[in-house]
Chains A and B, each alone.
Chain A
């Protein structure tokens, strides 16, 4: 036996249910309202005698062929708002601990913080009866001269891509357009101008934003403490989960700051202590090996999302900040799918250098 055969032995321990049994167990029938997970008493398995199976088949026919003509007492449906929040498993220090050590041991070579990154947002477009999600992706370079408090930016590329293979099919049905006059929520002129291919002139009107409220300048970065408690105070972060669909936003903003290695180590430790986050180990949106933290955000009508803040396990550098759809918000249910990215920022390169833009 090879390893796949051994795995199949594990599967053989699970009996295969008939569709009639599953219809009874799941309560599914075509067109039945909104899905709600049901916690039902475990009665059926004890009743799987021959007669019970015949009865189950009759129930399946009634549920599927004659919907509404038969009511199965499977117990009360659970209001999603009352569902227990999934337990957070694992200690985030498992993934962040090694990163804290590595980032704190780095050398800061230069006063210019250079990044090349890709920023992507999913936008609903297409005909009203067959909308679909397209990812609008912008790639650019940024230089921050922390000694002169100057920034420069150069756009490299912008492009549209279907958010998934399923979305690609809808896009192709729409004739594979490259521009749209408006999105599904009525935004006009979403066709973007192509990015400039030369760095713009340096500009000084710049400050760093943490979350929605905290603004920092280079002098503030130079004075940041290195301990997690002090950093939380500076960034206005408490011990409760941040409301809304972007609970990890301030932690990403902090991780992206051009700070000294000692302060970055403190920021990483602060990230590991963020409320109700779980360790993550896998790949980032670009398929690179990644470790970090994740958190599920439930924003009511704005949907349910998983957010991830991911780092390179070898270099400890920030890789990505991702928002993945679990349940689309009401306004996007026609075109957004579970598992797709709603938005992300992916860093292709980030480093200290003594060189400015070309």
Chain B
């Protein structure tokens, strides 16, 4: 089932985000329903990019901004996901250097810094294989624009149209950036496979 279909089904019969937001203008606590619906997916995406600590701050600030700006929300859009993710995307960009540092560390050492905050895992540090290291090496080198598009699609499960809305760019630009990023990833993974076959790192 596509992400969009599963999200639509989850909210089928339920009050739309737009309606919840409109109601929250008079009943502020009702905005908690928006947090309940969207915070988990947003946090997981952000935590994969920045780590738990920064992800919690980004999520908190996203919903703080959203709550403050809810009066401006356009009720013509029943699903608030692109709006919320747009706010978060701008906040995540502030951590571009931190994120790049994480990928370089994973590529270089095999230790995944963003996993070290999850103490409930038995193996908080998962030894990276050549594939993870190759992925991380590419992610570290991608431009902000290409990285955002790639990860919104791969980790955020957004559609092309949703990613375009979040980033404020045409759908065609989403496609071209994704195509470019995937081409670079494929080349890196192919090289990694060749290295593995030869038994060297």
Q: Is B90 an interface residue (CB 8 A)?
A: yes
Interface class of chain B by DSSP: helix
In the assembly, what is the distance between CA of A23 and CA of B33, in Å?
12
B134 (CB) vs chain A CBs: closest residue: A6
Contacts of A281 in B (CB 8 A): 143
Please tell me which stretch of A26-34, A182-190, A196-204 contacts chain B, meaning at least 4 of its Cβ atoms lie within 8 angstroms of it.
A26-34
Contacts of A3 in B (CB 8 A): 135, 182, 185-186, 189
Chain A residues contacting B45 (CB-CB under 8 Å) are 11
**How many angstroms between the C-alpha atoms of A48 and B185 in the bound complex?**
36
Is the beta-carbon distance between B97 and A89 smaller than 8 angstroms? yes
List, in ascending order, chain B residues with CB within 8 A of A18's CB: 40
A106 part of interface (Cβ distance < 8 Å):
no
Chain B, residues 66-99, CB within 8 Å of chain A (1/0): the string is 0100001010000000010011011101100110
**In the complex, chain B residues whose CB is within 8 Å of the CB of A28:** 35, 39, 59-60, 63-64
With A8-B155, A338-B90 known as contacts, the answer to whether A30 contacts B24 (CB < 8 A) is yes
| Residues on A with beta carbons closer than 8 Å to the beta carbon of B97 | 86-90, 278
CB distance from A39 to the nearest CB of B (A): 7
For the complex formed, measure the closest distance between the CB of A321 and the CB atoms of chain B, giving whole angstroms: 18
Contact call A32/B90, Cβ cutoff below 8 A: no
How far, in angstroms, from A347 to B94 measured CA to CA in the complex?
A: 25
The verdict on B145 contacting chain A, using a C-beta distance below 8 Å, is yes
CA distance A278 to B118 in the complex (A): 30
| CB-contact partner of A38 in B35, B57, B65, under 8 A | B57
Name the interface residues of A265-309: CB closer than 8 Å to any CB of B. Answer: 278, 281-283, 287, 306
Contacts of A287 in B (CB 8 A): 173
Known: A28-B60, A64-B35. A45 touches B118 (CB 8 A): yes
> Can you name the residue of chain A whose Cβ is closest to the Cβ of B187?
A3
Of B56, B89, B100, B135, which contacts A6 at CB under 8 A?
A: B135
Q: Let me know if A166 is at the binding interface, CB within 8 A.
A: yes
Q: Is the CB of B40 within 8 A of A17?
A: yes
Cβ of A337 within 8 Å of any chain B Cβ, yes or no, is yes
A11 vs B42: C-alpha distance when bound (angstroms): 12
- Looking at A7, A130, A166, A339, the one whose CB has the most chain B CB atoms below 10 A away is A7
- Classify chain A: how many residues form its interface, as a range: 35 or more
Give A39 to B94 CA distance when docked, in angstroms: 18
Q: Contact flags (1/0) for B118-138 with A, using CB distance below 8 Å? A: 111100001000011001000
Whole-angstrom distance between the Cβ of A133 and the nearest chain B Cβ: 12
Interface presence of B53 (CB below 8 A): yes
**Contact call A130/B114, Cβ cutoff below 8 A:** no
- Taken together as a complex, chains A and B put the C-alpha atoms of A282 and B153 apart, in Å, by 19
Q: How far is the CA of A37 from the CA of B144 in the complex (A)?
A: 24
Is B175 an interface residue, CB under 8 A from the partner?
no
In whole angstroms, how far apart are the Cα atoms of A18 and B114 in the complex? 19
Q: At the interface, yes or no: B194 with Cβ under 8 Å from chain A?
A: no
Residues from chain A with Cβ under 8 Å of B32 in the complex: 29-30, 60, 64-65
Chain A interface residues toward B at CB < 8 A = 2-4, 6-11, 13-19, 22-23, 25-32, 34-35, 37-39, 42, 45-46, 48, 60, 64-65, 67, 86-90, 130, 164-166, 169-170, 278, 281-283, 287, 306, 326, 337-339
* Known A7-B151, A23-B35; 12 more pairs at CB < 8 Å: A6-B135, A10-B135, A10-B155, A13-B112, A19-B39, A27-B60, A28-B35, A29-B32, A30-B24, A46-B120, A166-B72, A339-B93
Which 6 pairs across A and B sit closest by C-beta, in order of nearness? Answer: A339-B90, A64-B32, A26-B60, A3-B185, A35-B64, A282-B143
